[in-house]
Amino acid sequence: MVNVRVTRENLVALPALAPYFILGLLSFAAVPWVLLAAAGRLDAGAYRHPLVLAAVHLYALGWGSAVALGALQQMVAVVYATVLHSTRLARAAFVPYALGLAGLITGFVALSRAGVARPALFAAAAGLPLGAMMVLANVTLTLRTAQPTARGALIRPFVHASGVYLLIAFLAGAALAVNLTTGWLLPAWRATFAAHVGAAAGGWFLMLVIGISYHLLTFFGFVDKRREFRRPAAVRRLLHAGVVLGIVAASLPSLGRGAGTPTGTPLVTGAAGLAVAAACALFVGDARGLYARRGPERMHPAVGHVRAAHAYLALCAVLLAMLACLPAAGFRPAPSWLTALGFLAAAGWLSSTILGYLHRILPFIVWHNRYWGRGREPGVPAFRDMIHQPLAWAAFAVYHAGVVGTALALVTAWPAGPFLALLGLGAALAAGNLLWTLFR
């Protein structure tokens, strides 16, 4: 098998990928302040407020998906020892994606004004799927020239599955965006919403991030590079089962509550939640080497964020298992607990994972694009100095204090506002540091 390494040939030009990272970091920095503007609604339990919906989609599309779509185009070239099919296609795909995201956020904010919201949401329904499909086409065409590598064989099923789920999530989301101002889906909107959420959360994010983590954890030295992971296939099967069962459960009327009720049957819901929780637990166990003792000189902010991400994922798995089993026992979980779970998954696990990897990926891409072969020249920064580490650690402390505080506020009588401000400060510091790396 071919060894995984970066070469001048498989290094993607920075201008082709930088827009995805810039959009992601700006969205990440903006989300807490959007939530802060809706803090009163959050405290009152109005979780479907347009500003809350805008924040959720900034997390999912502006932050998580934009960074993933950008990084994926570099990663497949490296992991499969090939060359990205087209940097032009990478640049072109960003345009409809960014315009679609702008339309979606505008549509949510202006939802009460149909004259503004309708064209904005129609633009989102066209632009976002188009941009995503162009990136997936670029990745698929790149894989046609893939070389056999051990890591490539490991993550390929995750990447393929996540791409399919991404298409389902985006197409269902496009239908829902149009439905917001037209109502054209009628009762079918519930099944469409179930497909949208299930495919996005479990199929796209969990499948992709866990899959590529099996490569990045060793590639960046977060765990022993010689480690052989034992449970990727079981993790993947459990995620598939959880996503499919979750979509079915949310689409079916609840037993004994009358036709048209949006909740799924307790047994199917419980099985779906337990399957996803088990997949997360197996992955965290597989990556336990992440917590091996290391000296201060090796304790990079990237390691701190990824360690925090795995802790959040373990907590989310426990909460998900508990909340999934409650309906079968005759209890209905309070919406605040489901919201807290979603917040911990987005602001805790997903964001911490992305932050951790970006603290390695951005210096890696920027340094090799700008300084390849010039490492000994005067004025060329050392790789470890591409990130301002004291600022990164300060952002780490402030951000995670905001995550924990906001999650607690969602399930208690505490006001969310002060913790969201803390979250916003931490996000701004982290995003600013990474943007400085990108533009230095």
* pLDDT tens digits for range 26-84: 999 999 999 999 999 998 988 989 999 999 999 999 999 999 999 999 999 999 989 99
Put residue 81 in one of left, alpha, beta given phi > 0 → left and psi -120 to 50 → alpha: left
Asked, for residue 356, whether it belongs to a domain, the answer is no
Least confident span in 87-101, 138-152, 421-435: 138-152
CB atoms under 10 Å from CB of 419, counted, come to 24
Amino acid letter, 368: H
pLDDT surpasses 70 at 267 = yes
pLDDT score of 256: 42
Show the CA angle centred on residue 62, arms to residues 342 and 110, nearest 5°. Answer: 85
Contact criterion met (CB below 8 Å) for 58 and 98: no
pLDDT score of 254: 40
Asked, for residue 1, whether it belongs to a domain, the answer is yes
Q: Is 3 helix (H, G, I), strand (E, B) or coil?
A: coil
Q: Give the separation between CA 216 and CA 310, rounded to whole angstroms.
A: 14
More confident residue, 187 or 176: 176
How does residue 3 score in pLDDT terms, banded at 50, 70 and 90? low
pLDDT surpasses 60 at 261 = no
Q: Out of 36-45, 134-143, 243-252, give the one with best mean pLDDT.
A: 134-143
How does residue 265 score in pLDDT terms, banded at 50, 70 and 90? confident
Quick one: tokens of 269? Answer: 């819901």
Q: Measured between alpha carbons, how far is residue 170 from residues 89, 97, 126, 144, 284 in Å? A: 19, 11, 10, 24, 28
In b/e form, how buried is each residue of 306-329, taking b as 16+ CB within 10 angstroms? bbbbbbbbbbbbebbbebbbbbee
Residue 225's contacts (CB-CB under 8 Å, 6 or more residues apart) are 218, 219
The alpha carbons of the chain give a radius of gyration, in whole angstroms, of 21
pLDDT score of 2: 55
More confident residue, 72 or 327: 72
Show the CA angle centred on residue 393, arms to residues 387 and 395, nearest 5°. Answer: 95
The whole-chain average pLDDT of the chain stands at 91
pLDDT surpasses 90 at 331 = no
pLDDT score of 253: 54
Asked, for residue 207, whether it belongs to a domain, the answer is no
Quick one: tokens of 74? Answer: 């570099």
More confident residue, 136 or 8: 136
Residue 344's contacts (CB-CB under 8 Å, 6 or more residues apart) are 312, 315, 316, 319, 403, 407
Asked, for residue 245, whether it belongs to a domain, the answer is no
pLDDT surpasses 50 at 180 = yes
Contact criterion met (CB below 8 Å) for 407 and 401: no
pLDDT score of 435: 97
pLDDT score of 35: 97
pLDDT surpasses 60 at 325 = yes
Q: Domain span at residue 127?
A: 1-148
Quick one: tokens of 413? Answer: 């009588």
Q: Give the residue-averaged pLDDT of 1-17.
A: 81
Q: What is the DSSP letter of 146?
A: P
Asked, for residue 436, whether it belongs to a domain, the answer is no
The domain tally of the chain equals 1
Contact criterion met (CB below 8 Å) for 292 and 223: yes
305-317 per-position pLDDT tens digit: 999 999 999 999 9
Q: What is the DSSP letter of 186?
A: G
Phi, psi values for residue 377, rounded to 5°: -75, 150
Secondary structure (DSSP) of 373-399: T-TTSTTPPPGGGSS-HHHHHHHHHHH
Asked, for residue 90, whether it belongs to a domain, the answer is yes
pLDDT score of 317: 97
Asked, for residue 71, whether it belongs to a domain, the answer is yes
pLDDT score of 362: 93
Asked, for residue 422, whether it belongs to a domain, the answer is no
pLDDT surpasses 60 at 260 = no
